[in-house]
Amino acid sequence: MSHFDRNPFIVIWEVTRACALRCLHCRAEAQYRRDPRELSTEEGKSLIRGLREMNSPILVFTGGDPLMREDLFELAAYAKEQGLHVSLTPSATPRVKPRAMRRAKEVGLDRWAFSLDGSTAEIHDWFRGTRGSYNRTIKAIQYLRELEMPLQINTTVSKYNLDDLSKLAELMESMGVVLWSVFFLVPTGRGRTGDMISPEEHEQVFHWLADLSSHVCFDIKTTAAPVYRRVLAQRGALKGGGDMRAPYSVNDGNGFVFVSHIGEVFPSGFLPIPCGNVRKNSLVEIYREHPLFQSLRDPDQLKGKCGICKYRLICGGSRACAYALTGDPLASDPTCIYLPAVDQVKEEMDRKGRHA
């Protein structure tokens, strides 16, 4: 039984798909104009109220660019009134002005998250498809520090910035971030399989992150890469979380749920299989009762090597990568190089040797 059978740990609400950027890897394939079908302010508040029935999970406003919605801070203030932890992931566009950041501080936003995909303007701006995005991000971060707003940086690892990660880590320390959320590119939306790093490079980055986490002043987590938890467990370094960090493994549909700009519900933004719509059914009902969500929370339904892996309860493999690369959300994660059968044979031989 999953720790998240009834309630998610985190709810991502894509409040709009409108965005001024055109990022290489964009899951949402964001557009320049808002969709008239977006959830209204009142529909959004209804969604927020419903989260109280799910043990008040963390709520993240994402997009597109959430700042494209005029009612964003009204919704954020309402969510805080409902007792939720609230995070915001805006795009670094001209809309990121000091007054917007001050407003976020006033409504009690728990965390502001910016994306930074390169240590230089050349790398980041190319990845984000907009010249000036890097300088705008750095300037906004400086103002957030003045406001003492907790800052999270999101970085998407791809073959285009793999060699830049160590320099990015140095930037994290200089910026005083509280969390570096390292995403691993999933080929969905504008992202392509050719943009991904190899399975061997995934493993190398996981071990590098584990080494890094032992001596930096910020927390590190991965997104769309639960295999990192397997690496940490193998190294004896797996830890629980604080008030905004999950104490148990979160995976697509298992502690994690995504609501689109038009109310469609998915196991995650990177696993685009629609399971219902909050305009027709409550998020509670969809999350708890939809067959796909239930399957994703049942480790016995995992296939291939993920199904026999002893780390499946703390990892489970990326269900989004499995779906993107095989078409089956319950298949083995193709980005993981670990061979559980070989490991089990070695353990059995060691056991027999100890008792010989």
Residue 338 has pLDDT above 80, yes or no: yes
**pLDDT tier at 64, thresholds 50, 70, 90:** confident
Among the listed residues 188, 187, 228, the one whose alpha carbon sits nearest the alpha carbon of residue 207: 228
Query: Does residue 348 lie in a domain region?
Result: no
- Among 45-54, 79-88, 345-354, where is mean pLDDT lowest? 345-354
Specify the higher pLDDT residue, 348 or 93: 93
Does residue 346 lie within any of the structural domains? Answer: no
- C-alpha 58/C-alpha 76 separation (Å) is 12
- Comparing 248 with 82, the larger pLDDT belongs to 82
Please state which of the ranges 23-32, 152-161, 312-321 shows the lowest mean pLDDT.
23-32
Residue 134 within any structural domain of the chain: yes
Whether residue 157 lies inside any domain: the answer is yes
**Structural domain boundaries enclosing 253:** 10-300
Average pLDDT over residues 280-285: 97
pLDDT of residue 98: 92
Report how many domains make up the chain.
1
Percent of the chain exceeding pLDDT 70 equals 92
CA 325 to chain CA centroid, Å, is 19
Paired with 11 in beta bridges are 59, 257
- Would you tell me the crossing angle of helices 165-175 and 199-213 to the nearest 10 degrees? 30
Domain assignment present for residue 313? The answer is no
Assess if residue 287 is contained within a domain: yes
Chain segment 234-271, per-residue pLDDT in tens: 999 887 655 556 667 899 999 999 999 999 999 999 99
Peptide bond into 64 cis (omega under 30): yes
- Residue-wise pLDDT tens digits, 170-221: 999 999 999 999 999 999 888 899 999 999 999 999 999 999 999 999 999 9
Which tokens go with 243?
Answer: 């008030």
* Confidence (pLDDT) at 191: 84
* 339 lies in some domain: no
pLDDT at 86 over 80: yes
For residue 117, the domain's CATH number is 3.20.20.70
The overall average pLDDT reported for the chain is: 91
Band (pLDDT 50/70/90 cuts) for residue 346 is: low
Flag whether 160 is in a domain: yes
Lowest-confidence region among 18-22, 82-86, 134-138, 199-203: 18-22
d(CA 143, CA 285): 41
